[in-house]
Amino acid sequence: MASLGIDGAAIRIYEQYRSMGYRGIEPHLRAGCKAVFRTYRPTGASIAIDGDIRRVRQLWSLMVVKQPFFGMGLRAVPRARWDDGNLHSLMIASGLPGILAGLITGFTIGNRAGEYRCGKNLTVLLDEPLELQVDGDAGWSSDRFSFAVLPGVLRLKY
């Protein structure tokens, strides 16, 4: 799972709290609030999935996943399936109301906020660089990201 936007900004702040010895849900909440109200600045983006391009003026969050859950039990992309051969994405461009709606519904009935899309290839072109988060860890900053399904690469052991 990976995401761009507020998630990357919040994870970077959370890592600072973790390095100071903070653990649990509280530093996650503090990092999220600090990112939303102080540090994160949404940017414009063009998001192409299998050639279908959507332009958004203010990208708050773009999640790219193969499964519905996004950490701490958040069902962020409820329509995602491991075995369908697609990447699943959810884009939130409605600011704080969309983020809050996504969190509330994600922890209860399954996220109902944002725009859901799926496909084999996803490319994001950003007006300004954003930070990527991958599996709950800070990634890197860039103004372009590409994701693709690689058949036969993902294996589940149970």
Give domain status of residue 154, yes or no.
Answer: no
Count other Cβ atoms within 10 Å, centred on residue 135: 8
Q: Report the CATH number at residue 86.
A: 2.60.200.40
Give domain status of residue 155, yes or no.
Answer: no
Extract the tokens encoding 69.
């859950």
Give domain status of residue 94, yes or no.
Answer: yes
Q: Which of 120, 11, 19 is nearest to 72 (CA)?
A: 11
At 4-23, the pLDDT tens digits run 999 999 999 999 999 999 99
Q: Where are the alpha helices (DSSP H) in the chain?
A: 6-19, 25-34, 95-106
Calculate what percentage of the chain has a pLDDT beyond 90. Answer: 67
3-state secondary structure of 39: helix
Q: How confident is the model at residue 30 (pLDDT cuts 50, 70, 90)?
A: very high
What is the per-residue pLDDT for 95?
A: 87
For residue 86, pLDDT over 70 is answered with yes
Query: What's the gap between Cα 94 and its chain centre?
Result: 14
Give domain status of residue 158, yes or no.
Answer: no
Mean pLDDT, residues 77-99: 90
**pTM: predicted TM-score of the whole model, two decimal places:** 0.88
At 67-76, the pLDDT tens digits run 998 877 889 9
Extract the tokens encoding 99.
């983020």
When divided into structural domains, the chain yields a total of 1
What is the per-residue pLDDT for 158?
A: 65
Extract the tokens encoding 25.
């849900």
Give domain status of residue 156, yes or no.
Answer: no
Give domain status of residue 109, yes or no.
Answer: yes
Domain housing 61: 2-148
Mean pLDDT, residues 74-101: 90
Q: Computed over its alpha carbons, how large is the radius of gyration of the chain?
A: 15
For residue 153, pLDDT over 80 is answered with no
Helix (H) or strand (E) holding 9: helix 6-19
Give domain status of residue 104, yes or no.
Answer: yes
What is the per-residue pLDDT for 156?
A: 63
More confident residue, 120 or 156: 120
What is the per-residue pLDDT for 154?
A: 65
For residue 130, pLDDT over 80 is answered with yes
